[in-house]
Amino acid sequence: MEELKSTPIRGRHEALKALMAPFGGWNMPIQYEGIIAEHTWCREQAALFDICHMGEFIFQGDFQSGGLEDVFTFSVKSIPVGRSRYGFLLNEQGGIIDDLIVFRLAGDKVMVVVNAATADNDFSVIRSRLTGGTFTNISAETGKLDIQGPLSRAVMTTAFGEQIASIPYFKFITMNILGVEAIVSRTGYTGELGYEIFIPAVKVGELWDLLLTDDRVKPAGLGARDVLRLEVGYSLYGSDIDEATTPLEAGLEGFVNFDKSFVGKEALLRQKEQGVPRKKVAFEVAGRRSPRHHYEICFSGETVGSVTSGVFSPMLGIGIGIGFVTPEAAVIGAPITIRHERISMEATVCELPFYRGGSLRS
């Protein structure tokens, strides 16, 4: 059995009596006082998440001649310095090896931020496609905390200065925090106003402690994070997207630039021409029951797909979910049934996001 990795502040989670559990090969905090309470605090105040398990890589060199420009579904060289861009690393079949964000640090330098469970494979795949430049895995020495919620801007400016208040969505600044260089990015995974802070791992505990001295901030675990992200329709790698799923099937074509070269492009073009065999749908349950991963989705008496993510939404007071179905069932307003053994719940296909009241672009 593979030994779980721990973040630098595992002891702080245990001191707070967090429920710990495996996630992506890591021993992570799932909840502290409770998923609903932490979810509500994030929607109303400011929640602090330990995200040190994510992977970070640095590429330095010429993006075109070094091969990086052709690695992802988006253009790296067109990202302005100080901005970041979301997209995919694909296999030859167009399947999603990972979804990730690239931060343009300088004219010849980027940071690639990837999911924890896929980090080692991502690094290997990207490195194999490069023809020049230097490519370094800095995950072990990099800490990452996310502060999310409508009060996060006020918390951050109180702690670190007014320059943070002017960071637009998907932009970042490099600044001194606790005597070291840190990146503060206006990004997140909750649908709320928030920041991701990249700081040397040796300082992440001190940063955690400092932010929690503010009464507007409480710690939140991955349980609340999962509910928050699903309410706004964000995909979770390993559940909603994976190597057997293409961006076209997942409704994420907007993050694919067909005007450039990338691995998997030919497969996606064929799929565009032939049509996708299945489509991602969002649905609302007629009641408070939670649909679960792998539950069947039925339409017109036939099983047409399965659920990939599902939770009870505290903001909507109903069960919500995402799944993949055959194209004929992927129609807004279509009545579907979610089934598992003796469980049966009526649902309706709907548009994303489920919850539209977040402070994300405040």
- Whether domain 278-362 has CATH 3.30.379.10: no
In angstroms, the CA 249 to CA 275 distance is: 9
305 vs 334: CA distance, rounded Å: 14
> What is the model's pLDDT at position 125?
98
Residue range 55-137 forms a domain whose CATH class is alpha beta
- Domain ranges in the chain? 5-51+140-231, 55-137, 278-362
| CA of residue 4 relative to chain centroid, distance | 21
Q: Looking at residue 107, what is its pLDDT?
A: 98
For the whole prediction, is pTM greater than 0.75?
yes
pLDDT value at residue 1:
54
List average pLDDT for each run of 10 residues in the chain, which is 362 residues long.
89 98 96 98 98 98 98 98 98 98 98 98 98 98 98 98 97 98 98 98 98 98 98 98 98 98 98 98 97 97 98 98 98 98 97 97 88
**pLDDT score recorded for residue 176:** 98
Domains 5-51+140-231 and 278-362 share a fold: no
DSSP 8-state assignment for residue 101: E
pLDDT for res 33: 97
| 280-291 confidence digits (pLDDT tens) | 999 999 999 999
Residues 298-312 as b or e (16 or more Cβ within 10 Å = b)? bbeeeebbbbbbbbb
Q: What is the identity of the amino acid at 215?
A: D
CATH number at 5-51+140-231: 3.30.1360.120
- List 218's β-bridge partners, or say none: 47
Q: How far, in Å, CA of 304 to CA of 170, rounded?
A: 37
How far is Cα 97 from Cα 266, in angstroms, rounded to an integer? Answer: 16
In angstroms, the first-to-last Cα distance of the chain is 45
